[in-house]
Structure 1
């Protein structure tokens, strides 16, 4: 009887699998990536990265279980590119993850690449360029995985996908950032903030009594945003692709790269429309230009002919807003806290200056620097040495993780700014963080850093929230755990794109022997390397004869000589600037002669003051 029952169950599982495979389909997108012109804020027309001659970009939509194929041709002419499908685990398809020089070579102008993988996930994701720093130029959009079996599938009538982002009028290539003229590493201030890639005012039609699923994604490069709807609460049902137990809330804090899905039930009246408000986290900005609009109003539209009122949200109280704490969200599957870790990574974030006078970012004194061979390709070509972290170079900050190890990351922040950290290939459990969201989030900003003490911490949650992007507070810390059950090369990095450019990331080489066994890199990807002139065998230095010889590897800049500080650099830079300007004025007067001794002399006061105001000390 037992054998018969077991055989019946086995046949049932097989039948269900066959049905699922039969229902799955292949969804294909052909992307011709070129420059197009756009003016999303109505203030400045500029070139943006378009797809098939259009911008905003198309939302990728698939059903859970589908095969997603994206054929991308780079028609940009001057920029290399790639696509990262943010939040996709890429089980057994690590080579489809997308970050250049990590899992593939950059796709140079005139070259093509095909991404092909199965989507065995559900929820709200996005895709973006992951080569250098190209996605602030517009190469980003939502990716939605529909799930007919979600527990809340019968709880809503319609759904909307909504994105928010910061926006720059300058092309990224024209913004001077990592430069000795910016020794504090002050991030470029956006020129605008967009909602669904516009500032024109978005109306979401609402029918009385109906319930709507709103998918929210911050696809910006820098600034987090608060979100709320006047006179409405909502139920949070998903974060970063992880279903949660419904939790009522009235405000969210959405950092760059984070996503939420919420259920909003419409009122039974059509008398008025309600502001749907986004507020940029102005604390992240070193300066706030007088013409920068931080708060934006869009609407739940119950009545087209009724007034569409503007929300009143003074910018100066943005840091006092009180959003829901994402650590309080319980996963719907109630996965319990993982056991004590097999590997603990104790890491410290800091913003520093190297000897070129520019600002950089480090984790444990290493600023991520790309290797000469994509790290995945080093895994595939290094044989038994793949388990030796040395072959991946000194400056990719590579950590080799054992298969199925429980990994705990302790991330301490020496910086007075916050950092949304994203882990490719995984969600992680949110185990601890200080300070917490809400009015206390910036408690440590102006004080000395507070480091995590494993012997003195709050009680860990029984059912920790899970997501793939988690915010590290200013001068605070967080602790996360995950299981290394997905062999691959995965980046762990700050998702503020300026900070990644500064080197705020590291590499996890997870189960390298299993990577070699399970990964097949298609010829098309090798062709991309050939077109780019990038080697696909060898260690981080491109050495194929001796994988432990790193001569010629790419290196981070040298450290400043002892005794130099950021304030010293600032003083030195501006002293030099003042000296040159002063000499220029003297020269000008010497050439032109003094025509009127009663006229007020030219000074540099206003320029110096404006420059000093933008410096973060």
Structure 2
């Protein structure tokens, strides 16, 4: 039998074993209390939460019918880490590859899984996934290099948890009363969306733990007491084994580790996820920054409290080596340099910027502009003033040079690709200097990387996946504050080879979103951006964050003074009763309704695109 026949039989066999998984997902409100401290509305699927952990095999097909039953919010879903090669329209970010799904509408996501490893899925509509719309996802492959080296798998999710819902928190965050941009601090750390997790294990066995940070903000340190871990995968890329006693895992990152159990069964051992509190501007007294689970060898033996650690000595992911030994790509054909800053705009609120631009989603999703603007699609200008769009040619070797001019850590994620991490500086080393570095020869590949405080990194990828791919900070607060850019990869190829399904156009129509023309929806002159979505205007000359703080406190003092005067005046209950009566009758009924239905939100401003 010749080689071609063998290959054909192999392909037929793979198709025969592949399954099609059809999901009917009603996105609904559910009441939950995962940290045991406060019940609150969360976003569930089919009235259930936590969301289902999904398991697939490489080659399977997903058909997810996503129906928005949230009542007052749009929604979407992104399958994080999937390349979506040939199905860019299924990637998920509204304003980039699709329109938001309005209430009572359904969007169909239909694509094939051509990868393996550890991933997750989450809403990509502004500020939504921290309200519970997220969960882990695993794709298995019989050809994975560590098959046969472990007894069973366990999935561990780490997350931060807020007691208040995101719409209110976002309004407080992007607000003149918060001119320094202090991010809301979560209330608790969770492990598998609970606390006090127990994981039964058998002595002497080796397990594969897939650890996923599905949180909104906090990176977490993770360790298992008295057990070493062998790192074998990051972000869907298998690695050579690397021994670690602790890992540091930022929002959206994934690690798979092999852990061999002890032979004795006379003790159980703590697993700890500890939030990196250096990310927080304040440390509230009620902050529960650790989550603890246990490897349970014997359920009749006590589960000991986690031991304190003197330092966080975690493995440096820059030292990892990909299992396939792929060497660094050749020199870059194009370099995209992004300088990260945080600053105030004219409304007094604090925003995030790349190269002085705070991302704002265009009126027409960028993919739709690409498909309807002819040869002009190769010009980044048509995609909007504030979209940070960069056009790449098919096959280009691309470097992204990121200079972090902020004192915080930032995890950056690239859709549609993983990238080679060819350089990353230490803390406070300033901007990238190509004359003073040595690039890694066999660099680790991943899809989410941490930028060090006041440091820099360089990642390299091959533009071999035509599409519109978002590059953004995966701290949700910073994404919502504008810390994003867009790679427009091979736009003319997309025009010839990609067709958006009618269902997606129907969703756009239902949401009132235009699907033709430039960023402003102009179909006559693609360079006329009149009416486009724009960032808030800059501050007037001379204003600073310190000045805004002083102004805010002056206003607060003035209001306090006025309140004290009012309090001294006689109070007339008749006037107060008249004010209540003057409210709209339907509003009074709504207040009572929502007071007795905590799983449903009052009508509020629909959040914009991601």
Whether TM exceeds 0.5 here: the answer is yes
User: In the aligned structure 2, how far is the partner of 1:587 from the partner of 1:134?
Assistant: 40
Determine if contact 1:257/1:469 at 8 Å carries over to the other structure: yes
User: In the aligned structure 1, how far is the partner of 2:398 from the partner of 2:45?
Assistant: 39
Q: Secondary structure in 2 aligned to 1:498?
A: helix
User: In the aligned structure 2, how far is the partner of 1:18 from the partner of 1:216?
Assistant: 34
Report the more deviating stretch, 171-180 or 116-125: 171-180
Structure 2 counterpart of 1:275, from 270, 273, 284:
270
Which residue pairs with 2:220 in the alignment?
Answer: 225
User: In the aligned structure 2, how far is the partner of 1:109 from the partner of 1:12?
Assistant: 50
1:350 aligns with 2:328: no
Which residue pairs with 2:470 in the alignment?
Answer: 491
Determine if contact 1:492/1:506 at 8 Å carries over to the other structure: yes
Deviations 1:136-169, CA, capped at 9 Å, x for gaps: 1100001110111111010001111110111111
Structure 1 counterpart of 2:302, from 299, 307, 330:
307
Structure 1 counterpart of 2:408, from 402, 411, 417:
417
Question: C-alpha displacement at 1:480, in angstroms?
Answer: 0.6
- Structure 2: runs of 5+ lacking an equivalent: 572-610
Which residue pairs with 1:144 in the alignment?
Answer: 138
User: In the aligned structure 2, how far is the partner of 1:358 from the partner of 1:313?
Assistant: 39
Deviations 1:247-276, CA, capped at 9 Å, x for gaps: 111100000000011111100000100111
Q: Secondary structure in 2 aligned to 1:455?
A: helix
User: In the aligned structure 1, how far is the partner of 2:563 from the partner of 2:71?
Assistant: 40
User: In the aligned structure 1, how far is the partner of 2:103 from the partner of 2:53?
Assistant: 23
User: In the aligned structure 2, how far is the partner of 1:251 from the partner of 1:11?
Assistant: 48
Question: C-alpha displacement at 1:16, in angstroms?
Answer: 1.5
Deviations 1:31-65, CA, capped at 9 Å, x for gaps: 11110111111111111101011000011211011
User: In the aligned structure 1, how far is the partner of 2:489 from the partner of 2:66?
Assistant: 28
- Structure 1: runs of 5+ lacking an equivalent: 1-6, 436-442, 593-617
Deviations 1:409-453, CA, capped at 9 Å, x for gaps: 110111111110000000011111121xxxxxxx43xxxx61111
1:434 aligns with 2:425: yes
Q: Secondary structure in 2 aligned to 1:173?
A: helix
The TM-score, its normalising length taken from structure 2, stands at 0.92
Question: C-alpha displacement at 1:579, in angstroms?
Answer: 2.7
1:363 aligns with 2:354: yes
1:396 aligns with 2:387: yes
User: In the aligned structure 1, how far is the partner of 2:89 from the partner of 2:491?
Assistant: 13
Which residue pairs with 1:513 in the alignment?
Answer: 492
User: In the aligned structure 2, how far is the partner of 1:557 from the partner of 1:8?
Assistant: 65
Question: C-alpha displacement at 1:284, in angstroms?
Answer: 0.4
Determine if contact 1:90/1:425 at 8 Å carries over to the other structure: yes
Alignment of 1:459-538 (within 5 A): 459-538=438-517
Determine if contact 1:295/1:313 at 8 Å carries over to the other structure: no
User: In the aligned structure 1, how far is the partner of 2:457 from the partner of 2:432?
Assistant: 8
User: In the aligned structure 1, how far is the partner of 2:344 from the partner of 2:570?
Assistant: 39
User: In the aligned structure 1, how far is the partner of 2:456 from the partner of 2:6?
Assistant: 48
Alignment of 1:78-97 (within 5 A): 78-97=72-91
Determine if contact 2:189/2:274 at 8 Å carries over to the other structure: no
Which residue pairs with 1:75 in the alignment?
Answer: 69
User: In the aligned structure 2, how far is the partner of 1:556 from the partner of 1:508?
Assistant: 19
How many residues get paired?
569
User: In the aligned structure 2, how far is the partner of 1:429 from the partner of 1:472?
Assistant: 14
Determine if contact 2:294/2:303 at 8 Å carries over to the other structure: yes
Question: C-alpha displacement at 1:590, in angstroms?
Answer: 7.2
Which residue pairs with 1:21 in the alignment?
Answer: 15
The TM-score, its normalising length taken from structure 1, stands at 0.91
Structure 2 counterpart of 1:292, from 272, 276, 287:
287
Q: Secondary structure in 2 aligned to 1:575?
A: helix
Structure 2 counterpart of 1:337, from 318, 328, 334:
328
Deviations 1:330-382, CA, capped at 9 Å, x for gaps: 00011001111000111100001001000100000000001000000001111
